[in-house]
Amino acid sequence: MRLTDYLSSNHSLLVSVIIPVYNGNKTLCSCLDSLMQLNFPKEDREIIVVDNHSTDNTKEIISQYPVKYVFEPKRGRGKARNAGIRASLGKYIAFTDADCVVDKLWLKNLIKGFTSDTVAGCGGEVSSCEPKTLIEKYYHYRNIYSQKNGLIKPRAILQRIATYNAIYRRQVLEEVGLFDSLFITNEDVDLSWRIFLKGYQLNYVPEAKVYHKYRDRLSDFFKQFFEYGYTRSYLLQKHKYSIKKPVVSFNDGISFFLIQLKTIKSLFMTIFAKNNISEKGFFILDMVRETALLLGRIYGLIGLRLGIVKIPTASFSLNNKLIWGIVNEKAVVSKPSSDFYYTLDEIGTKIWSLLLEAKKIPDIVDTIANDFEADKEEIKAHLMDFIDELKKEDLLKH
């Protein structure tokens, strides 16, 4: 199949490559130089660099390359990427970062991951870019940035693609509402989860390679994982009805701290089992990393608990192809493609009405519990079972 066979009538280009950048004078040239060497038809792609209000000479660097310049004054990677998407023309939207160098065949291999219409996004593999310092070698040795961990690792909660090496169908990005700018990091995980929970597939394409320049200062290293920690709390709060028993509040404090103690115990066992000096050096960074994550999670949970940070919980929506009505005070629902009618009982009808009003799950639980004088936890359990049944019958979707 020729590349141009992918083109649709709605977009004049096949792929838009978006690179957000803030103060990228140390790495941006290498990134753009590699993109200039892509083995990919120039007429089928565009490169968009989003200047996220840099204070160095980033704008001057961008002006030296045949790329589209976009300025986003509000700081945030999600905001920058969204600005790039809105300025783009491609049917597919690819992402990498300003501190990355792409392989010549990166884009050509990445787009091959769309093997069916159900595939919404693909993620390629990430390797280190000549690690020299201990911290850079740690990232490489621990395989921190590997896409494999998020796409095919069995322990992954939900599939996710990191945007330093990613491509998505434009129509899917528009369907789910682009990146959530509330997240300063993990915004790509949130996007992937929303797409995955819509029923789409995310593919791993190891042949599509990107080389990442890792952080080499201990303060930056600590800050990165601290931010991962507290935005992880926000992420689990937003998707708490899609994940079984996430630890997202101090009500689950015992479980939370037991998990952390188990992690620390595992790390101590590791250091005493190793004799290699470099391994022990890596263990020290393991401890810094886990400490940063732990403090970040506590910080995030405090923010949620005190209401300083309010993360909207992901809601559900009704299938827009349904036929429904109220008959004898009971909701009757059917699909045009089905010969069956679904009649809901009194509580089911009440829930259905609240879903029509786009009420959030906690609000529905409170309303049902008050109206029927029932226990909230019991109502919540039955509600989630009811929602699962609606989803199985294609009456409800994320």
pLDDT tens-digit series, residues 139-167: 887 878 888 877 776 545 678 899 999 99
Q: How many angstroms separate the CA atoms of 45 and 47, rounded?
A: 7
Are 75 and 189 within one domain? yes
Domain membership of residue 198 (yes or no) is yes
Total domains present in the chain:
3
215-255 residue pLDDT tens? 778 888 899 899 888 888 888 888 776 665 555 554 555 56
Residue 32 belongs to domain with CATH number: 3.90.550.10
Same domain, residue pair 22 and 144 = yes
Residue 8 has pLDDT above 50, yes or no: no
**Of 226, 239, 394, residue with least CA distance to 317:** 394
Does 355 share its domain with 258? Answer: no
61 Cβ contact list (under 8 Å, min separation 6): 24, 25, 28, 29, 32
Domain check: are 206 and 90 in the same one? yes
Same domain assignment for residues 20 and 131: yes
Q: How confident is the model at residue 132, as a pLDDT?
A: 78
321 and 297 fall within a common domain:
no
Lowest mean pLDDT: which of 18-22, 169-173, 174-178, 259-263? 259-263
**Residue partners of 116: CB distance under 8 A and separation at least 6:** 201
Pairing of strands 317-318, 119-128: unpaired
Sign, Cα dihedral of 167, 170, 175, 176: positive
Burial of 307 (0-12, 13-18, 19+ CB in 10 A): exposed
Residue 267: give the domain boundaries. Answer: 237-305
pLDDT in tens, 44-93: 999 999 999 999 999 999 999 999 999 999 888 999 999 999 999 999 99
Verify that 292 and 206 share a domain, yes or no: no
Residues 160 and 301 in one domain: no
Task: Say if 229 falls within a structural domain.
Answer: no
CATH code of the domain in which 336 resides: 1.10.10
Q: Containing H/E element for 230?
A: helix 218-238
Task: Give the pLDDT score at 62.
Answer: 95
Within a domain: 227: no
19 and 40, same structural domain? yes
Q: Which of 198, 213, 228 is the endpoint of a domain?
A: 213
In DSSP terms, 94 is beta-bridged to 17, 167
Contact 345, 337 (CB under 8 A): no
Going by their DSSP bridges, the two strands 13-21 and 45-51 should be labelled as parallel
Phi-psi region at 310: left, alpha or beta (left = phi > 0; alpha = psi -120 to 50): beta
Q: Is residue 310 part of a domain?
A: no
Could you tell me if 146 and 92 lie in one domain?
A: yes
The reply to whether 146 and 174 lie within a common domain is yes
Q: Is 63 within a domain?
A: yes
| Least confident window among 133-147, 197-211, 318-332 | 318-332
pTM: 0.72
Residues 124 and 15 in one domain: yes
Residue at 225 is within a domain: no
pLDDT at 57: 92
Q: How far is C-alpha 147 from the chain's CA centre?
A: 12
pLDDT band at residue 108 using 50, 70 and 90 as cut-offs? very high
